[in-house]
Amino acid sequence: MDFADSPEQAAFRQEVVEFFDKNFPEELVADPNIDPRTEGRRRGGGEAMKKWRAALVEKGWIAPAWPKEYGGANLSPMEQFILNEETARRGAPTVRVPDVGSTIMVHGSEEQKKEFLPPMVRGETVWCQGYSEPGSGSDLASLQTRAVRDGDDFVINGQKIWTSGAHLANWIFALVRTDPEAPKHRGITYLLAPMDTPGISIRPLVQMNDARGFNETFFEDVRVPVKNAVGEINRGWYVGATHLDFERSSIGQSVGHTRTLGELTDFVKSTPQSRLGQVDAPRLELADRYVEAQVATLFSQRVISMQARGLIPNYEASMAKAYSTEFSQRIARTATRLLGLYGGVRGDEAHDGKNAPMGGRWATMYLSTVSATIAGGTSEIQRNVIATRGLGLPRG
């Protein structure tokens, strides 16, 4: 594989760099001195974010792969990869359409594309995911939320959990069981529903890092039009699997990891709290993290090379997802070790945070990344996918 940009790719990269130089507000760069438990973890927001989004919309770079008629830029997979790389290098906020949009692009009807895609690009709709249930997490196909056909509607009853951002969303995409007699991977339908539909209610779940992004979502006789089913009725498992392949591709995360390591290195080199110069082990551990960042880059490049050939990564996406999320945990552990006892200190409103390195960023990262290997499918599930679909091993 040639890792260098082709002349055309180099020209596009320069276009992206010049666009950032002209349009990106520096106040939106992630600020490591702000407690990451606060929303956004960025210096700026408000008008600056609106202007930045407007500039991206004008370029079609909110949904760069989509056709221009839906607000995209019809970029090639490699051009998207370059755009994601440069975005991560700048520490810019990720402004993109939700993965449900790409799923609708693959499986949705023409009417659904026209109805749902343009508002996503303009930022007029916020989506959340209704997959996991209290008894159906890793074994998602065992989900029990029912949707019964009643004329032109489905009537939904059941519960979802870990619904990220449900308290902010105005739409939800959900997997529901529409044929209870079918084998568990059949009889499932992928439905879209407005969050203000009567019968939908949410309850927040507070995480151990004090974040409040997760929720429980309840459905009580919720009526959703049949026309809101994406793909074939009773074949929604395969639609949902497409969504997860987009979610697990991890493109661009490797650059973000490298940036995080750079911020950590700069901090520990300049603070007496650090153990970096005291013993060799932490320095060698930090060096290992840099090597692993390059491995993460190779996983991302493998995924993008497949997409460039018109393929949807499957077990390759699972490899990238499992490695990237476990790597984020190793970065957090290394950071807290490098900072010694200070690595476990977090700032809050009752404390000025003077003893909390970088506003307690690393202690919070340590707590936050615990769930990284669960969200989007556990590492155990990813390894099963890799074993069966990648290595051809028999199912246990």
Q: What are the average pLDDT values for consecutive 10-residue runs of the chain, which has 396 residues?
A: 83 96 86 37 64 93 90 89 87 85 92 94 92 88 96 97 93 96 93 98 88 91 98 93 62 76 86 64 87 91 82 86 93 89 70 70 89 86 93 86
What is the model's pLDDT at position 38? 32
Could you tell me if 285 and 371 lie in one domain?
Answer: yes
Could you tell me if 77 and 165 lie in one domain?
Answer: no
Helix ranges (H only) for the chain are 7-23, 47-59, 77-90, 99-107, 110-122, 236-247, 253-269, 280-308, 315-338, 361-368, 379-385
**Domain for residue 373, yes or no?**
yes
What is the model's pLDDT at position 222? 98
Which candidate, 112, 226, 125, 136, places its Cα nearest to that of 169? 125
CATH of the domain at 203: 2.40.110.10
Half-sphere exposure of 19 (CA within 13 A, CB side): 21
Give the separation between CA 215 and CA 161, rounded to whole angstroms: 6
Q: At residue 358, what are phi and psi to the nearest 5 degrees?
A: 55, 45
Could you tell me if 17 and 71 lie in one domain?
Answer: yes
Could you tell me if 27 and 84 lie in one domain?
Answer: yes
**Domain for residue 103, yes or no?**
no
Picking from 233, 258, 292, the residue at the C-terminal end of a domain is 233
Provide the 8-state DSSP code for 68. Answer: G
Could you tell me if 255 and 382 lie in one domain?
Answer: yes
Which candidate, 117, 22, 110, places its Cα nearest to that of 71? 117
Give the separation between CA 126 and CA 170, rounded to whole angstroms: 6
CATH of the domain at 303: 1.20.140.10
Query: Rounded to whole angstroms, what are the CA distances from 202 to 106, 172, 216, 364, 366?
Result: 29, 12, 5, 26, 28
What is the model's pLDDT at position 330? 95
Catalytic residues: 247
Domain of residue 301, residue span? 248-390
Q: What is the pTM of this model?
A: 0.80
Give the separation between CA 9 and CA 47, rounded to whole angstroms: 32
* Contact criterion met (CB below 8 Å) for 235 and 254: no
Tally of structural domains, the chain: 3
